[in-house]
Amino acid sequence: MRSVIGSRIRRNGGDGYGNDLVAALAGKVVGQDKAVQAIVPYVQMFQAGLAPEGRPVGVFLLLGPTGTGKTRTVEALASVVHGNEKNVLKIDCGEYQMEHEVAKLIGAPPGYLGHRETQPMLTQAKLNAVTSEKCGLSLLLLDEIEKAASSMGRLLLGVLDKAALRLGDNNTVNFERTMIFMTSNLGAAEMMRVLRPEFGFEALAGSRTEALPALEKIGMQAVRKKFPPEFVNRLDLVLTYRPLDRESMEAILEQQLAALQAHINQRLAARAFPVEITDAAREFLLAKGTSVQFGARELKRTIHRQLIQPISAMVANGLVEPGEPVVADAGEDPDRLVLTTDPALRPRRPRAA
């Protein structure tokens, strides 16, 4: 049995506002309902005009193993409230590991070397640029915050407390209409020891619920060890993302396959074709792409190797006609899928007169 890509995705209703916001986000962030439900009230406070004055709309620290959807949550929220997941001001904290590099965030003050050449990363213009006509909420993502120099934490104290940041040129950035998300892998090694001792769907299914309290405890211990109390006290929520179970991985697989089909349709236009995946091929992708260590990222890499690259080779060699289905199935080789065109499903073309 086989089905066209994307046909199995569960569709959650909602336009992303009011009571539909949870459903809209849950449809994009798989397996993290607790985190989604915790973030939504802050968005609704902003939409209602009841967000607190003199501080950011919300400040969140997202913990958990890699590949569980921390960054995806912020992108999904941008997609829901702005219509575009790129409406996020992202700061890669790995680029600010040295103390002097943190100055790039605010720019050099007048009279200092590099004042005109160094453009600050956190400006009011850049925050405003990630809003939209639909919503005036800015989303700031500080990715892998634990990698930044300690001076970044001190710099952020004023932002988290009073929603204000003074730049090197003495201009002030206002964060009152901003939600601040920080992602971190703090405690990830200890979390892996809780999740590890076995791999596979059975281990995931058994650990997903039972291990969460232990993961939260590990995460909070690591946070308190890394950051000073005055920093931790300014966080609205510390959310620990749980490992993904089989049902979640199946849903993510369908999302990824649907995205692949949409990519083919968009990029090839009139030369596009449907890709069909058998049940055996789905099981193959799930088995190869399930990883406690790397989460959903391993599934994405597996789809890239097993589908995107072979399909690209077929197209480049002229082996696929426009509209002709490409069928992916499991074969005798345990390490790769078999991709073929199916003449029986080829659209009938009228004979030339």
Do 334 and 219 sit in the same domain of this protein? no
6 vs 237 pLDDT, higher one: 237
**Among the listed residues 114, 292, 262, the one whose alpha carbon sits nearest the alpha carbon of residue 194:** 292
Does one domain contain both 296 and 230?
A: no
Residues 49, 121: one domain? yes
Of 177, 211, 243, which residue constitutes the final position of a domain? 243
In a domain, 36, yes or no: yes
Q: Are 77 and 193 contained in the same domain?
A: yes
Whole-number Å distance between alpha carbons of 192 and 336: 28
* Per-residue model confidence (pLDDT) at position 209: 57
Average pLDDT over residues 191-205: 58
Same domain, 57 and 181: yes
Q: Does one domain contain both 286 and 314? A: yes
CATH code, domain carrying 188 = 3.40.50.300
Most confident of 210-219, 236-245, 305-314, 327-336: 305-314
Supply the pLDDT for residue 220.
92
pLDDT tens per residue, range 134-164: 999 999 999 999 999 888 888 899 899 899 9
Q: What is the pLDDT at residue 344? A: 56
Report the number of distinct structural domains present in the chain.
Answer: 2
User: What's the DSSP call for residue 245?
Assistant: -
Q: Flag whether 219 is in a domain.
A: yes
Cα separation, 181 vs 50, in Å, equals: 20
270 and 167 together in one domain:
no
**210: confidence class by pLDDT, cuts 50, 70, 90:** low
Say which CATH number the domain at 324 has. Answer: 1.10.8.60
**Rounded-to-integer distance, Cα 253 and Cα 106, Å:** 41
Same structural domain, 222 and 255: no
Q: What is the pLDDT of residues 281-334, one digit of tens each?
A: 999 999 888 876 677 788 889 999 999 999 999 999 989 989 999 999 998 888
**Rounded alpha-carbon distances, angstroms, from residue 88 to 17, 118, 126, 213, 230:** 19, 22, 10, 30, 26
Domain span including residue 300: 247-345
Residue 300 within any structural domain of the chain: yes
- On average, the pLDDT of the chain sits at 83
Which of residues 214, 243, 272 is at a domain's end? 243
Alpha-carbon distance 250 to 255, whole Å? 9
Q: Please write the tens of the pLDDT for every residue from 94-110.
A: 898 888 788 888 875 54
Q: Both 167 and 86 in a single domain?
A: yes
**H/E element holding 172?**
strand 172-174
Are residues 69 and 204 located together in one domain of the fold? yes
**pLDDT value of position 197:** 53
Residue 295 inside a domain? The answer is yes
Q: What's the distance, CA 297 to chain centroid?
A: 10
Give the residue-averaged pLDDT of 194-223. 68
Cβ neighbourhood burial of 56 (10 Å; 0-12, 13-18, 19+): buried
Residue 14 within any structural domain of the chain: no
Closest alpha carbon to 181 in 225, 235, 109, 125? 235
In a domain, 302, yes or no: yes
> Does some domain include residue 24?
no
Provide mean pLDDT across the span 259-269.
93
Domain boundary among 243, 267, 297: 243
Note the pLDDT of residue 353: 44
DSSP-derived 3-state class of residue 277:
strand
121 occurs within a structural domain: yes
Give the residue among 270, 274, 256 at the shortest CA–CA distance from 2: 274
Same domain for 136 and 222, yes or no, is yes
Whether residues 115 and 264 share a domain: the answer is no
